[in-house]
Structure 1
Amino acid sequence: MVKKIGFGLLWLGFIAYAFLLAPPDAPHTFELIKNLSTGQWQGINPFIIALFNVMGIWPVIYSAVLFIDGRGQKIPAWPFATASFAVGAFALLPYLALRNSNPQFAGKKNALIKALDSRITGILLTIAAAILVGYGLLAGDWGDFVQQWQTSRFIHVMSLDFCLLSLLFPALLGDDMARRGWKNSSIWLIGFIPLFGPLFYLCVRPPLPEVGVDKISPQQQPTI
């Protein structure tokens, strides 16, 4: 119950900060969002381009856990996971506040869960994230980004959303590891590494057992 209240208060606090304390919207915010969404990136700081696209990777990372976790919840996970593609942690925090601990997986994996559970998905996401981060760090203008972070609500809140998504992911790790019969405290700690910690987890976690499989076989255990 304490965790649920904490996630609920964090959600309300994030909303209050975004609309009351963050910098006001810049005049060109709508145009910037439109250009970022349609790939018209000429004249936009590569650091912002990279961050915007990384924020599209985060919902897939969370979906790879949420769609499995939601199988045993009273509330469906898919509306929150889907909404996170548009509003990030604003959509995920209510789910974290409403969900219950769920260390088991009921039923068989459907096509979507099989795809999200695949290590190939984790590897592809990691490659895409590495390219984006490398592009942003090598070609981006850090000074311009800091200036926009101080003056644009969109850039400011998007940056904080990235940080919050990095901090929240470990809250789902315990149950996901339990569903796989996997005990590895070092992996749980790696989950706190921004972006690449969760991606590493998706790349190395054992496959989710189907119905009738009681535990992970030694051959499925990853070598770290």
Structure 2
Amino acid sequence: MSTTQNNLCIIPARGGSKRIPRKNIKDFLGKPIIAYSIEVALDSGLFSEVMVSTDDEEIAEVAKKYGAKVPFMRTEKTADDFATTMDVLVEVVDKYKKEGKYFKNVCCIYATSPLVSPEILKKSFDVYNEKKFDSLFSVIKYSFPIQRSLSVNDDKITFNYPENANKRSQDLNDSFHDAGQFYWMKENLICKGAVLVTKNTGAYEISELQGQDIDNELDWKLAELKYELLQSIK
């Protein structure tokens, strides 16, 4: 069973999105998309603090409107195109420590994750706790075995793994990819040079309906359709 602990939720939301301008506060079915991540974190009851890490004043105002804290602004170093998620987590955790605030666990939820639910967060936290993982994140199963993936060059097909060309798909192991929604991690493992995936990183599987990477306008529409479908079958 999930129990509220001294957990920090960090929602990274820089202002300089390229492929979808103002992506983090773009309207998603009636409200800014970041609002969904904030509200899910608050509704889960898992966090003693929900904060948004941003370099953008407008995003900061939207975040506060929907209940998140913005205790400090992101530095230029973590707001450029080359900063990683871990860079952001390290900066936030270090700033809290300087203020005398320490947390047991940190959950990073991306600002464009409207399909995450409080139930998913709570169940994933249970798995993370019960199995004593260093970190955990959501994954989605590939719908077709990647062991039978193809390459196309000059319109000609070649198998990436020729040894599997004649194998039945059901005889091949399932493969998964990062759902790009959230990451749980112990705060004491967040430091310069740290990585999200360790030898003790767990997975929480979600369905294709529960996840959608949003990199372009078509992805955005698919995410809206999935959200509406999920709401209709609750």
Considering the TM-score relative to the shorter chain, is it more than 0.5? no
- Tell me which protein shows more strand as a share of its residues: 2
- With a CA cutoff of 8 Å and minimum separation of 6, indicate the structure with the bigger relative contact order: 1
TM-score, normalising length from structure 2?
Answer: 0.26
- Tell me which protein shows more helix as a share of its residues: 1
